[in-house]
Amino acid sequence: MKDPNWRKCVLNADSRDIIKRIPDNAIDFILTDPPYNLAKHSTGNINLPGRSSINNNLADWDLVEFNPEEWVEEFLRILKPTGNLFIFTSYNQLGRWYNCLDHRFDFSNFMIWHKTNPVPKIYKAGFLNSCEMIFTCWNKRHTWNFSSQDEMHNFMESPICSGSERLKNPKHPTQKPISILKRMIEMASNEDDIIFDPFMGVGSTGVAAMQLNRRFIGVELEPQYCQAGKLRIEAELEDFMRRRSKSTYTLFGESPTMVCEEMDDDYSLPQDLLQFFSY
Ligand SMILES: C[S@@+](CC[C@H](N)C(=O)[O-])C[C@H]1O[C@@H](n2cnc3c(N)ncnc32)[C@H](O)[C@@H]1O
């Protein structure tokens, strides 16, 4: 029988190294937000007199060439036949995800997240970047939790992260709102399912997963983002346990934080996770 207590595993590593160690058909829902390579299309930061500039260049990690095609085989291998795959993406990469995924699944579609408070464009030279796309795909008999037509719109609205939800240190330029992630998790997975986010950032998918009593595996390359995500996810799980008075849950994934440069071929997933998979 599977260890019912295993809830989360957060790893500071390169997902390329982690994903190949995940067994076949192990994941119920891949919900992820990979780099968009948008900085290449940016007109640069906009300097405003007397104010901080508007940051159009996302981050250094966004400049690293990201090829959707390189991830597809492994995503398919680890996803259960009943699983769902949702990928945040942008206009410049949507077609690439479609081309490499659509023919591999029974169905594909997309969702829109409309940001009600996008960064303003003071010179009115184009559209606001107020929409983000999520490429979605699945096979017949996948998990799908809708009870009414109203719940089935592929359009969601929320402000971008701000206020107390927005981390200040480290500040992640693309931190996603928990409300949007929860909506997707509720529709595409069940309680105790395993959600995998190989590009975890500051752990927003993990926080949403804990709030909804799902299990979570998250991987993030940047140590400071990973650490911030780990703390958020742990706090959320503890809070969840308190609310549910289930003191039996244990916090796994505490094993040595892995820095990708130090990993060698002998590296393996934490024992608790391996045991969970091998039961
Ligand atoms: C768009 S952000 C994700 C933000 C996240 N949704 C959040 O709410 O915080 C993409 C993240 O992927 C990370 N990343 C890029 N390549 C990676 C890799 N090969 N393995 C693990 N993480 C990676 C980047 O450091 C960045 O934090």
pLDDT one digit per residue (tens) for the chain, 279 residues: 566 778 999 999 999 999 999 999 999 999 999 998 876 666 666 666 666 565 655 677 777 889 999 999 999 999 999 999 999 999 999 999 999 999 999 999 999 999 999 988 888 889 999 999 999 999 999 999 988 999 899 999 999 998 999 999 999 999 999 999 999 999 999 999 999 999 999 999 999 999 999 999 999 999 999 999 999 999 999 998 888 765 454 444 444 344 333 344 445 677 777 777 765
Measure 277 CA to ligand 1 centroid, in angstroms: 25
Among residues 177, 136, 185, the alpha carbon closest in space to that of 157 is found at 177
Cβ distance 205 to 216 under 8 Å? yes
Which DSSP state fits 198? S
Has residue 2 been placed in a domain?
no
In a domain, 28, yes or no: yes
d(CA 189, CA 30): 10
Q: Which residue lies with its CA nearest to atom 3 of ligand 1?
A: 201
Whether residue 139 contacts residue 101, with contact meaning beta carbons closer than 8 Å, is answered with no
Number of domains present in the structure of the chain: 1
Query: In this structure, is residue 223 part of a structural domain?
Result: yes
Distance CA 179, CA 185 (A): 10
| Token representation of residue 63 | 């400049």
DSSP annotation of 125: -
Q: What is the CATH number of the domain that holds 203?
A: 3.40.50.150
Output the CA 174–ligand 1 centroid distance in Å. 9
Asked if the structure places residue 219 within a domain, the reply is: yes
176 CB near ligand 1 (under 6 Å):
yes
Question: What H or E segment, with its residue span, contains residue 199?
Answer: none
Nearest to 190 by CA among 160, 208, 214, 209: 214
Q: Ligand 1 within 6 A of 189 CB?
A: no
Q: Is residue 228 part of a domain?
A: yes
Q: Considering the domain boundaries, does residue 154 fall inside one?
A: yes
Q: Is 33 in the pocket of ligand 1 (CB under 6 A)?
A: yes
In a domain, 31, yes or no: yes
**Per the domain annotation, does 270 fall within a domain?**
yes
Domain span at residue 89 reads: 8-46+55-278
